[in-house]
Amino acid sequence: MNADLAHIDTWLFDLDNTLYPAESGFMGDVERRMTDFVMKVAGLPRDEAFALQKTYLAEHGLTLGGLMKHHGVAPADFHALFHDLPLDVLAHDAGLLAALERLPGRRLIFTNADEIHAVRVLDHLKLDHLFDEVFHIHSFGFAPKPDPVGFARMIAAHDMDPATTAFFEDSERNLKPAFDLGMTTVLVGAHARASTAPFVHHRTHKLAPFLAGARLKEAA
């Protein structure tokens, strides 16, 4: 059945692996560079550096949090690793563009990446003109998803009403604080259908057909 989103007027989207499919492999390129950096900073062989990277991700919401706390890494140095990544694996999706265009109200990006990365990806996907603002890791003071503090800062910054906000994410755990706040939560990706999390309202493999088929608020 098509999702009933007629109560939504603020559309909040994660960026990576949400506005493009995880199957593109792009985040694999990001992860490889991240592991290389952890190897260098921590002086570890690759397998141990990868394990440490995942530990920091689990404990701090993102690898950068652990690198900042335990190794004194400057955020700018870390984010610069990804600013020249080739984007050719990310394909423009005309269907997604059309589906996003029909959404009434505000469209926002909520990402743990930095602004430069977000702008590069949105521009490459030809979706940049559809979003009012990018709320990135610097915007919410390095309190990354799923930290409720980051959500609170975003809501305050944009005067959002969670009851009329839908949040689209590929990471299940990042939907929990949104659900707790009263947002409508949508899990996106090949893994979504298998989710049994009670804090996920809707699940879809592909974002474009889900949005295209959703029931929306009628124009005034």
Q: State pLDDT tens for residues 101-157.
A: 999 999 999 999 999 999 999 999 999 999 999 999 999 888 999 999 999 999 999
pTM over the 0.85 mark: yes
Cα–Cα distance for residue pair 137/129, rounded to 1 Å: 21
The pLDDT confidence band at residue 60, using thresholds 50, 70 and 90, is confident
Alpha-carbon dihedral sign for residues 158, 163, 164, 168: positive
Residues 6+ apart with CB under 8 A from 132: 106, 107, 108
Cα–Cα dist 158/102, whole Å:
21
- Mean pLDDT, the chain, rounded, equals 95
Q: Which of 91, 96, 89 has its CA nearest to residue 11?
A: 96
DSSP result, 68-94: HHHH---HHHHHGGGTT---TTSPP-H
Tell me how far apart the alpha carbons of residues 198 and 56 are, in angstroms, rounded to a whole number.
26
The first and second tokens of residue 28, run together, are 């694999």
Q: Are 150 and 143 in contact (CB under 8 A)?
A: yes
Instruction: Say how far apart CA 147 and CA 22 lie, in whole Å.
Output: 23
Give the amino acid at 24: S
pLDDT at residue 1 greater than cutoff 80: no
